Homo-oligomer: A and B are copies of this chain.
Amino acid sequence: MAGTDSRRGQLPKDAPPGPAVILVDPQMGENIGATARAMLNCGLTDLRLVRPRDGWPNSRAIAASSGATLVIDNVKLFDTTQEALDDLQFVFATTARSRDMIMPVYTPRAAAAEIHQRMGKSGQKCGVLFGPERSGLVNDDIARADAVINVPLNPGFSSLNLGQAVLLIAYEWSQGANETPPRALHTGETGPVTKQEFDSFMERLEEELDNGGFFTSPDMRPTILRNLRNLFQRMEVTGQEIRTFHGIISTLTGQKKDKAKKKKKA
């Protein structure tokens, strides 16, 4: 009977693919439900929760979703933000505050256009990260994103609740049928690197920097690593290019020469 239950909510058959919505450490079930409702209002269905405070499933979330079961029934749970992003290629972080990190900052409207352009023409997978209700996203999670979305509101009263923030982003996405990109990155045949390939590159770089004694101050190590991640992230690197960087590290550390020598000897 599900198919005839109008409360369940549906998507039109020709609905375009939309971005994942990732809530990190959400506290109130009501906000998760409001998020699911706002998503389905705007044609989005991929909701991911990282460590929801009250566990999952959550009866308050279901009540507040007003019948958006198409979203609620497909919620995916994760222990870490990293895992929640693994299959995505371009991720926005929503944050009200300006941070120390150097990242492109989009309005919701420009972000919506960027997502349509990436998902529609290039078939990329995109997502939007939202932090917990009071504190917002931590810097380490922001550093995993490729860009930031900042909603320009009344500076004298700018705090939105979580469900409202999701609604505005999802609404802008839904209104973005116009696919003229305000800014486009032409990656040719090869697509953006997956988060997994990217993470393993960052791990290797960190190891080689440790080997070389790059970090003179242990206190600064986490900040420098986060800034490095942010710096490489900003490059919007492709899978091919990450392999080039691996080659560069092999070369600079002499691993390539060693291999060549071994070959000559043999």
Contacts and interface: CB of A to CB of B under 8 A. Distances in A.
Contacts of A209: 248, 251-252
A202 interface: no
18 contacts: A11-B156, A38-B164, A100-B188, A105-B184, A106-B182, A152-B178, A164-B164, A167-B167, A168-B171, A208-B251, A209-B248, A209-B252, A214-B247, A214-B248, A231-B237, A234-B235, A252-B252, A254-B254
B174 A252 contact: no
Interface string A234-263: 111110010010011101111011001000
Contacts of A249: 252
Given A42-B154, A156-B12, A160-B41, A182 B213 contact: no
A43 interface: yes
B107 A182 contact: yes
Closest 8 A/B residue pairs (Cβ): A10-B156, A110-B182, A9-B157, A252-B252, A212-B251, A152-B180, A214-B251, A43-B154
A104 B185 contact: yes
Contacts of A105: 183-186
Copy number in the complex reads: 2
A153 B173 CA distance: 11
A68 interface: yes
Interface residues of A, number: 84
Contacts of A77: none
Interface of A: 9-12, 15, 37-38, 40-43, 66-68, 70, 98, 100, 102-107, 109-110, 113-114, 147, 150, 152-161, 163-164, 167-168, 171, 174-175, 178, 180-188, 205, 208-209, 212-214, 224, 227-228, 231-232, 234-238, 241, 244, 247-249, 251-254, 256-257, 260
Contacts of A187: 102
A106 to B, nearest CB: 5
A265 to B, nearest CB: 15
Given A40-B154, A252-B252, A102 B238 contact: yes
A212 B248 CA distance: 9
A251 B160 contact: no
Contacts of A175: 107, 109, 152
